[in-house]
């Protein structure tokens, strides 16, 4: 009989055969540490991953960046080897950020890396590298926010941060009675289906853009249907929607720290109840930015600061998902590589901090 257990779950083989998602939960609890990669067209500008919104760059003008996207030094095997040397157990890659540009050869959506000068499917490459090295492969996916799709959530119904505030209005967007959120939901379901059917075993789907559905009637996004669909395709996949949109997510992934009771009060209950829930705290090496930002060079976290974050998350029973923004050419930031490897050496010598 062929063993279909994903390589990252090889130590949970018996449990996987009985209950794939419970095996994945057990793996996640013990994984403790992962690598987050924010890479996309915004990396070419080096001015924050929200540069399109912050500078109100028109959709057509921003799309021209795809003509410069080569990813010539994006080396999936080297990235996986680096993560493993650093003591990390999984990698999370931005398959599609808020700008709508995909790092995979998306069916029916030409705004992707395979149609750029790179001519590559970076998701496919990293999926193979993670499987080879026994790392969990996690997929970041911008769900609540999109600045490219004509029918993505708009500012009229979903708050001022859903889309850039173009004046005059952006001609690529649908407005009024012509706008149909369901077109966008169908588009996302199709992309997620492709991601789960085309790239082997996936450890987690990490949804982003939670502020948008939280600003209105979140039921319109039909997220529970999406969660159930994901689990029907790959039952071991753990689903997260940041700090918890419905509360039915497999794990919560708040930014920078585990939410406290005070956080819940200040956010009017928008932060999920973390009791009994798998937790992962995401934070970034560069101050104030997840994607590559040139003006932060020399100001990134030190190895001692990363060590303290590992200690803080560990005491809370949470994993640490540590982000670095690859340089425009796709290579890892050397400042972060040096720091993260130093932490990895300390982990190998001393174990996780108490």
The residue-averaged pLDDT of 157-165 equals 90
CA 134/CA 123 separation, integer angstroms: 16
Q: In the predicted model, is pLDDT for residue 242 greater than 90?
A: yes
Q: Is residue 243 part of a domain?
A: yes
What's the CATH number where 175 sits? 3.20.20.80
Per-residue DSSP letters for 146-164? -SSSTTS--HHHH-TTSS-
Residue 310 lies in a domain: yes
In tens, the pLDDT along 27-81 reads 999 999 999 999 999 999 999 999 999 999 999 999 999 999 999 999 999 999 9
> What mean pLDDT is predicted for residues 84-99?
98
The answer to which of 96-100, 271-275, 345-349 has the lowest mean pLDDT is 271-275
Question: pTM score > 0.85 for this model?
Answer: yes
Q: Is residue 19 part of a domain?
A: no
Cα 195 to the center of its chain, rounded Å: 13
Calculate mean pLDDT across residues 208-213: 96
In this predicted structure, what is the pLDDT of residue 272?
53
Measured CA to CA in angstroms, residue 133 lies from 110, 127, 170, 267, 301 at distances of 31, 10, 44, 40, 27
What does the pLDDT read at residue 266?
A: 44
Q: What is the pLDDT of residue 273?
A: 60
pLDDT value at residue 276: 75
Exposed/middle/buried for residue 167 (C-beta within 10 Å: 0-12, 13-18, 19+): exposed
Nearest to 226 by CA among 207, 212, 252: 207
pLDDT at position 258? 82
- Residue 155 CB neighbour total at 10 angstroms: 16
Across all residues in the chain, what is the average pLDDT? 95
265 is written with which tokens?
Answer: 């009060």
Compute the distance between CA of residue 333 and CA of residue 235 in angstroms, rounded to an integer.
35
Of the chain, the percentage scoring pLDDT greater than 70 comes to 95
Question: How sure is the predictor about 268, in pLDDT bands with cuts at 50, 70 and 90?
Answer: very low
Q: Is 241 helix (H, G, I), strand (E, B) or coil?
A: strand
Q: Has residue 271 got a pLDDT over 70? A: no
Confidence tier at 183 by pLDDT (50, 70, 90): very high
Structural domain span for residue 256? 26-350
pLDDT band of residue 114 (cuts 50, 70, 90) is very high
Whether 263 has a pLDDT exceeding 60, the answer reads no
- Does residue 8 fall inside a structural domain? no
Instruction: Give the 3-state secondary structure of residue 65.
Output: helix
pLDDT tens-digit series, residues 295-313 = 999 999 999 999 999 999 9
Summarize the confidence of residues 248-257 as an average pLDDT: 95
140 belongs to a structural domain: yes
Domain count across the chain: 1
Query: Which residue pairs, CB below 8 angstroms and at least 24 apart, start in 303-308?
Result: 303/339, 303/340, 303/342, 303/343, 303/346, 306/339, 306/340, 306/343, 307/343, 307/346, 307/353, 308/353
Separation between Cα atoms, residue 59 and residue 38, nearest integer Å: 20
Q: What is the pLDDT of residue 265?
A: 43
| Averaged pLDDT for residues 137-163 | 95
In a domain, 12, yes or no: no
Residue 159 counted as domain residue: yes
What would the two tokens of residue 23 be?
């095996």
d(CA 112, CA 52): 17
Asked whether the bond before 277 is cis by omega within 30 degrees of 0, the reply is no
pLDDT over 70 at 216, yes or no: yes
pLDDT-derived band at 3 (thresholds 50, 70, 90) equals confident
Average pLDDT over residues 139-151: 98
| Alpha carbon distance 101, 114 (integer Å) | 11
Provide the pLDDT for residue 1: 66
Residue that has been written with the tokens 């609540």 in this structure: 144
| Domain assignment present for 272 | yes
């Amino acid at each position: 009989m062929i063993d279909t257990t994903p390589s990252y779950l090889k130590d949970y083989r018996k449990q996987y055969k009985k209950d794939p998602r419970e095996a994945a939960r057990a793996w996640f609890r013990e994984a403790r540490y992962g690598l987050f990669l924010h890479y996309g067209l915004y990396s070419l500008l080096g001015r924050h991953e929200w540069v399109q919104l912050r500078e109100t760059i028109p959709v057509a003008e921003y799309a021209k960046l795809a003509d410069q996207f080569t990813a010539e030094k994006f080396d999936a095997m080297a990235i996986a080897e680096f993560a493993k040397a650093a003591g990390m157990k999984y990698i999370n890659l931005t398959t599609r950020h808020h700008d709508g540009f995909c790092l995979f050869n998306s069916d029916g959506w030409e705004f992707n890396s395979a149609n750029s000068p790179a001519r590559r499917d970076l998701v496919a490459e990293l999926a193979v590298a993670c499987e080879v090295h026994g790392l969990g492969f996690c997929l970041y996916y911008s769900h609540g926010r999109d600045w490219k799709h004509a029918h993505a959530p708009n500012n009229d119904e979903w708050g001022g941060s859903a889309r850039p505030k173009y004046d005059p209005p952006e001609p690529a967007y649908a407005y009024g009675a012509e706008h149909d959120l369901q077109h966008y939901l169908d588009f996302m379901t199709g992309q997620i289906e492709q991601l789960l059917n085309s790239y082997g075993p996936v450890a987690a789907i990490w949804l982003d853009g939670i502020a948008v559905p939280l600003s209105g009637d979140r039921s319109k996004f039909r997220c529970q249907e999406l969660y159930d669909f994901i689990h029907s395709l790959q039952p071991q996949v753990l689903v997260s929607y940041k700090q918890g949109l419905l509360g039915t997510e497999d794990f919560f992934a708040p930014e920078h720290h585990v939410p406290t009771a005070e956080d819940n009060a200040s956010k009017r209950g928008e932060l999920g109840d973390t009791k009994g829930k798998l937790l992962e705290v995401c934070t970034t090496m560069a101050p104030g930015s997840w994607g590559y930002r040139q003006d932060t060079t020399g100001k990134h976290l030190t190895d001692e600061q990363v060590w303290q974050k590992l200690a803080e998350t560990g005491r809370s029973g949470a994993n640490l998902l540590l982000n670095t923004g690859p340089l425009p050419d796709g290579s890892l930031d050397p400042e972060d590589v040096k720091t993260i490897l130093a932490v990895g050496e300390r982990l190998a010598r001393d174990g996780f901090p108490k």
